[in-house]
Chain A
Amino acid sequence: MPEQEYNLQGADPMLPRFLRVRRAVVETHDTITLELDDSNAAPQFAPGQFNMLYLFGAGEVAISISGPPDDRQTLVHTIRGVGAVTGPILQLRRGAILGVRGPYGSAWPLHEVSNGGRDLLLMAGGIGLAPLRPVIYEVLRRRREFGNLTILYGARTPADLLYRGELAQWRMFPGVSVKLIVDRAAGVWSGRIGVITDLLRTVQFDPAETIAMICGPEVMMRFAYHELVRRGLAAERIYMSMERNMKCAVGWCGHCQLSPFFICKDGPVFRADRIQPLLATREL
């Protein structure tokens, strides 16, 4: 390849940077966390943003960034292997190479929470914990700027829970509570079984002083939203992260359109009052 190729990178938003996997953590039977060596200084990301990850010859997928925002040397992604690109990504180990474009999209509004030291209620379903993990890192790093942090996390089975070591660490911080629930369990699970809205019923929060952030399957987010509103939380204080098919991530390919929005650039994080009416219409 000619030398000049890299000169184009600034000009061509479709050209990925190629980064090496520094560490691969197998989270569950279908999920892996890849830490990419980005010591050539990536553009800083905000919690909630995503990258387009390219696997050589296989294709590109939109994956949220799940690492600490203050680490400029490392890009972390947690990926569930469900398709033609993410499936083979599960097999990647230290030294493998991935293409990266990004970061793209809107961010979780941490300033809304830190401004006034409000409480933060996170609701995650399945892989939906990954896009919220940078929020947790930031809140713990700047602990005094925030009120209470409540993490409600649901997975299909106990074996599907992500970041198990960290979940245990997080709940040791003052003012942090972590509650887990699974759809079904066999054997040693002594925790709750049910859906995440069941978990929400066990939690007290002050609707005047709380911001909620939800990430998970769309149906889970709809139910969580309605339950939060029923409990008195204003829709303007609820945020959710949307998922759609994406090819370009910059608003050109049309795939992620949801009525007036392109999820890639208007989202993925939306204030619930802006997005909720659209989720109520089927197949929009």
Chain B
Amino acid sequence: MQGERLGIGGAVVIQSGALDELIKVLAAEGYKVIGPTISDGAIVYDEIRQAAQLPIGWTDLQQAGSYQLQRRQDAAVFGFAVGPHSWKKFLHVPVLRLWRAQRQSDGSIGAATDPHPASKFAFIGVRSCELHAIAIQDQVLIGGTCKDPHYAARRDGVFMVAVNCTSAGGTCFCVSMGTGPRAEAGFDLALTELLDDGHHEFLVESASARGAEVIRQVANRPAQPHHRQAAAQASARAAAQMGRQLDTAGVRELLLGNLEHPRWDEVAARCLACGNCTMVCPTCFCTTVEDHSDLANGVAERVRTWDSCYTLEFSHLHGGSVRSSIRSRYRQWLTHKLATWWDQFGTSGCVGCGRCITWCPVGIDLTEEVSAIRNNQPRHGRPLFSVPSPQGKGEGEV
């Protein structure tokens, strides 16, 4: 039997042991290889040099406000969902010096930015929801007329090795958001882990010339139709296991038409405004800046850090904060994710990864909040009011 050939859109099969080769080939090509690894009781993304650093034989149990690692019965390499990290920590970094300025002897001021990192990233184990999240941050930070050069420099040329989920986590709902579980675009290689009857191998689909070039250097054999079938079945299994679901029909109009719904008070009574959800969210992009100065020698720098719309300072104006209540801050976050993101960027701001549910210390679940509003709309409440779209942009379709 001939099987499939390598090339764009082609597929091969590699043994699980060949993952180590893949990592080494990428490193040899000059990439800084980042993948999932275990640290402090969680699966996080960090630089890896060998396959042994991957969370082999581990899974995660996730529920609202709860995350726990557990040994698996098998040696699955990617048998878990997503952890507290997302790839944004490498592309839209948490702390970044924007520039550094120095007073010159003539009193003038010169400012300079730091050089951008020299090496390109290779990300291993990017889930479909995460590919969507990266595409969303691309839209925010480099999709407009003004492009963030720091994000662009890190994002440019990333080698993406996607992993198609073969099981779903307890707080996953990518199927509702149309973002998974199978990776459709935005990767160079996509792995599907096939593990049964003593076989442990990966179907590797190539979506780019350099993807095909890299996998050619790893021991492989042609994929057969039964491998494709097994991969499709694994994706279908994951899709059927979603821990959560969110009815997105008309959700923009639903939320913007219920800005005074009593449920906002109810959730505000539980919400601690800690900002965890915004830190773990792979699409949240808000930042603030800090200014540091060393007045002795006239050096100053601006540092950009991730920020959260849950802080009181976030909307500070002289005279006080625009959103002084937790109710208004939770409402801002949720309506931005699911409603006004459409107006601004033409997509949802939520990819259904479930991180905000898992990492909320009090277990607030946005899917539950949306359905509470949907299922309990005051009969004589205010009429739906339609929020206008920004000039020059079409009405967001939901």
Contact = CB atoms under 8 A, between A and B. Distances in A.
A207 interface: no
B300 A56 contact: yes
Contact of A60 (B113, B289, B322, B387): B289
Given A1-B102, A274-B391, A284-B328, A252 B287 contact: yes
Interface in B304-320: 304, 307, 309, 314-318
A247 B289 CA distance: 7
A132 B378 CA distance: 43
B302 to A, nearest CB: 7
Interface residues on chain A, size class: 35 or more
Residue with the highest number of chain B CB atoms closer than 10 Å, among A2, A244, A252: A252
A13 to B, nearest CB: 5
Nearest to A283: B328
A283 B325 contact: yes
Contact of A244 (B286, B317, B344): B317
B135 to A, nearest CB: 16
A234 B302 CA distance: 45
B148 to A, nearest CB: 6
Interface residues of B, number: 61
B209 interface: no
Contacts of A159: none
Contacts of B343: 259-260
Interface in B88-126: 98-99, 101-104, 107-113
Contacts of B70: none
Nearest to B100: A1
B287 A253 contact: yes
Nearest to A248: B287
A56 B113 CA distance: 16
B217 interface: no
Interface string A253-284: 11101011110001000000111011001111
B288 interface: yes
A251 B144 contact: yes
A253 B291 contact: no
Contacts of B140: 251-252
A281 B259 contact: yes
A14 B146 CA distance: 10
A15 B146 CA distance: 13
Contacts of A274: 388, 391
Contacts of A283: 322-325, 327-328
A247 to B, nearest CB: 5
A99 B107 contact: no
B317 A15 contact: no
A56 B101 contact: yes
A15 B318 CA distance: 25
Given A12-B113, A260-B390, A245 B146 contact: no
Given A57-B300, A253-B307, A5 B146 contact: no
A56 B260 CA distance: 43
B111 A16 contact: yes
Nearest to A273: B388
Contacts of B63: none
Interface stretch (B14-22, B234-242, B332-340): B332-340
Contacts of A18: 101, 108-111
Nearest to A83: B318
Given A251-B146, A259-B387, A261-B390, A245 B99 contact: no
Interface string B379-398: 00000010111110000000
Contacts of A5: 110-113
Contacts of B390: 260-262, 266
B141 interface: yes
A97 interface: yes
Nearest to B142: A252
Interface of B: 98-99, 101-104, 107-113, 140-141, 144, 146-149, 256, 259-260, 285-289, 291-293, 295, 298, 300, 302, 304, 307, 309, 314-318, 322-325, 327-328, 332, 335-336, 340, 343-344, 385, 387-391
Interface of A: 1-2, 4-5, 8, 11-16, 18, 54, 56-60, 82-83, 95, 97, 99, 106, 243-245, 247-248, 250-255, 257, 259-262, 266, 273-275, 277-278, 281-284
| Nearest 3 interchain pairs by C-beta | A57-B293, A254-B286, A260-B343
Given A56-B298, A244-B315, A281-B260, 8 more contacts: A13-B149, A54-B302, A57-B291, A57-B293, A82-B318, A106-B391, A255-B286, A282-B328
28 contacts: A1-B102, A1-B104, A2-B112, A14-B98, A18-B108, A18-B110, A56-B293, A59-B289, A60-B289, A99-B109, A99-B111, A244-B322, A245-B314, A245-B315, A245-B322, A247-B288, A248-B289, A252-B140, A252-B148, A254-B309, A257-B332, A259-B340, A260-B344, A262-B344, A262-B390, A277-B385, A283-B328, A284-B332
